[in-house]
Amino acid sequence: MVNILITQHIGDAAVQRLRDAGHAVTYRDETTPMTPAELQTAVRTAAGLVCLLTDRVDTAVLNAAPHLKMIANVAVGYDNIDLAAATARGILVSNTPDVLTETTADHAFALLLAIARRIPEADAFMRAGKYQRFELFPPLLGLDVYGKTLGIVGMGRIGTAVARRGALGFGMKVLYTAKSEKTAVAQELGAEWVSLAELLRRSDFVSINTPYTPETRHLFTLDTLRQMKPTACLINTARGPIVKEDDLLAALRDGVIWGAALDVFEAEPQMTPGLAEHHERLVVAPHLGSATGETRRNMAATAVTNLLAGLAGQQPPNALNPQVWQGTPL
Ligand code: GLV
């Protein structure tokens, strides 16, 4: 039996599994994150920590947690956790890949279609009573998707799932960037491994699906956006700071690119001033990539499965630093 801290609401079923396993669970059933000071206090006696991407687990938190053995993040992205510092302290860290791959790819594609066909603008137009007559060339002319070129920045699990939707569902030519060539994907989808510059130059839709790291911070600036076609759209369902939001707003205002769809923001939940007021060819959503009830429940269950495995001395299925696993109960 160990002390486990769950920082925010994750649903009763997942919590109950930890309690049924005999652990002493402190469940903060709230939908807001703790302040850094509150988290540092709350984590003091915890051996296991279940946290969300809005909980920043940095060295200050790790220093305040002398008993901590494992962190189970309820997210696939783990840029909220100082993994190197946790590893140096022998703390196992896990995430929740796979269960959210298809759901997040669905959302990326929903945003791609929404921006291309201007769905939010069309919805607002109708509700404002502006639809007076059918026109051959209406004010809300969109872009074709079928048969166009889709550029995937970061061909991991989610990037591949977005690429499949494009290639198999919409006859799209797929280009991608990745650290290495993905031969299986190339065979399955005819996808081409290219440099970022080439991807930007050739793509009609650019989907960001890469993790947020120091290298990908502000990967998209005005310079990058200028390399895209003026008829192209950018879709970001990864992490906000990969795109310099001020620059994107300027690019949209000046017609540097045609449109953008954002599910994530640089200083989430805030948007860069001016972005919310910019309605034309810009779709925004509140970080909903994996947000279906089924998938979010599966993510919570996956985090708990990882934590229970680690605590029992088994290697957590989604350990991010398996090298610290000792093979003994924590
Ligand atoms: C969501 O953004 C996640 O990383 O799971």
Check if the beta carbon of residue 88 is closer than 8 Å to that of residue 59: no
User: What is the C-alpha radius of gyration for the chain, rounded to an integer number of angstroms?
Assistant: 22
Nearest-CA residue for ligand 1 atom 4 is 77
Residue 174, token pair as written in the block: 């797929």
Nearest-CA residue for ligand 1 atom 3 is 75
Give the model confidence (pLDDT) of 175-202 as tens digits: 999 999 999 999 999 999 999 999 999 9
What's the CA gap between 42 and 45, in Å, rounded? 7
Rounded to two decimals, the pTM is: 0.97
C-alpha 254 to ligand 1 mean position (Å): 31
Check if the beta carbon of residue 300 is closer than 8 Å to that of residue 74: yes
The four Cα atoms 71, 74, 76, 81 give a dihedral, to 10 degrees, of -40
DSSP H/E element including 261 = strand 259-262
Using a pLDDT cut of 70, give the percent of the chain over it. 100
Give the model confidence (pLDDT) of 113-159 as tens digits: 999 999 999 999 999 999 999 999 999 999 999 999 999 999 999 99
Mean pLDDT of the chain: 97
Domains in the chain, please, with CATH?
3-98+293-319 (3.40.50.720), 101-284 (3.40.50.720)
Edge-first strand order for the sheet with 92-94 is 24-27, 3-6, 48-51, 70-73, 92-94
Choose which residue among 104, 208, 302 to substitute to test ligand 1 binding: the one with the highest number of ligand atoms within 8 A of its C-beta: 104
pLDDT, position 304 = 98
Known catalytic residue at 287? yes
pLDDT, position 328 = 87
Known catalytic residue at 17? no
Residue recorded with tokens 């639809």 = 131
**Pick from 127, 104, 109: which is nearest to 172 by CA?**
109
pLDDT, position 327 = 87
3-state secondary structure of 243: strand
C-alpha 19 to ligand 1 mean position (Å): 26
Known catalytic residue at 9? no
The closest-lying atom of ligand 1 relative to the alpha carbon of residue 237 is 2
For residue 49, the Cα-to-chain-centroid distance in whole angstroms is 21
pLDDT, position 330 = 84
Residue of 188, 192, 198, 268 with catalytic role: 268
76: pLDDT strictly greater than 90: yes
Using a pLDDT cut of 90, give the percent of the chain over it. 98
What's the CA gap between 254 and 274, in Å, rounded? 14
